[in-house]
Amino acid sequence: MKQYYAARANEYERIYARPERQADLRVLEDRIPAYLRGRRVLEVACGTGYWTQHLVPVASFVLATDASDETLEVARGKGLSGAKVRFATADAFDLPAGAGPFDGAFAGFWWSHLRHGECRPFLESLRRCLAPGATVVLLDNTCVEGSSTPVSRRDADGNTYQQRRLDDGTIHEVLKNFPSQADLEREVDGFGTNFRYLPLTYYWLFAFDAK
């Protein structure tokens, strides 16, 4: 996964240019900053910083983390305010708790790359960085026939995968799960309260308050 996103860094944001997704994106660009306004935010899997640029104007501070130095290089090139944002290489299962506590967290398009059984270890890592009551916001894709890359296989544990081709012609198998609202609530149960779920056509948004 890390190698795939490193290779995809310079073409990643094309997905946000698709005409049919613009209405959903305008909703998200309004809703996500509203959840995290005024908060000290830990961003997990920030990638190229597309969502970081929407958080920085409203948050008090953003620590934007990713496992890929290549995507972080693109994010740093966006010219975001140095006083309000810091980029750092970090493993989502070993987040920098010493930089916290944070009263907000955001993870865009990360949850779908977690295998069944990895969600709770990730949440444990995240919880170590958060103050009680912190607002956590998760954003990811819904599976839309004709728009989403088709699922190519399912493993014995029920995880689903896609075959993705990059500009250099290489083909990568990428883990991509599509959880339901019930799946999300079941995994987060015990870690958070006050669940808020927003289903859109191409995306879903799930927020909760950390315990």
HEC profile of the chain: CHHHHHHHHHHHHHHHHCHHHHHHHHHHHHHHHHHHCCCEEEEECCCCCCCHHHHCCCCCEEEEEECCHHHHHHHHCCCCCCCCEEEEECCCCCCCHHHCCEEEEEEECCHHHCCCCCHHHHHHHHHCCEEEEEEEEEEEECCCCCCCCCEEEECCCCCEEEEEECCCCCEEEEECCCCCHHHHHHHHECCEEEEEEEECCCEEEEEEEEC
The rounded percent of the chain whose pLDDT value lies above 70 is 96
Residue 3 has pLDDT above 80, yes or no: no
pTM of the model: 0.94
Per-residue confidence (pLDDT) for residue 118, from 0 to 100: 98
What mean pLDDT, rounded, does the chain reach?
Answer: 94
Q: Alpha-carbon dihedral of residues 91, 9, 81, 41, nearest 10 degrees?
A: -30
Per-residue confidence (pLDDT) for residue 173, from 0 to 100: 94
| Phi (first) and psi of residue 192, to 5 degrees | -150, 170
Q: Which of 38, 172, 16 is nearest to 108 (CA)?
A: 16
Return the higher-pLDDT residue of 39 and 3.
39
Q: What is the pLDDT of residues 53-91, one digit of tens each?
A: 999 999 999 999 999 999 999 999 999 988 999 999 999
Residue 139 has pLDDT above 80, yes or no: yes
Amino acid occupying residue 91:
D
The rounded percent of the chain whose pLDDT value lies above 90 is 86
Orientation angle between helical segments 181-188 and 119-127, nearest 10 degrees? 50
Confidence of residue 163 (pLDDT cuts 50, 70, 90): very high
Domains contained in the chain, CATH given:
2-210 (3.40.50.150)
Per-residue confidence (pLDDT) for residue 202, from 0 to 100: 98
Per-residue confidence (pLDDT) for residue 110, from 0 to 100: 97
Return the higher-pLDDT residue of 1 and 132.
132
**Dihedral sign from CA coordinates of 96, 102, 107, 110:** positive
Asked if 113 contacts 172 with a C-beta cutoff of 8 angstroms, the reply is no
Residues 206 and 138: their CA atoms lie apart, in Å, by 5
* Bridge partner residues of 44 (DSSP): 107
What contacts 153, CB < 8 A, 6 or more positions away? 160, 161
Residues 52 and 104: their CA atoms lie apart, in Å, by 13
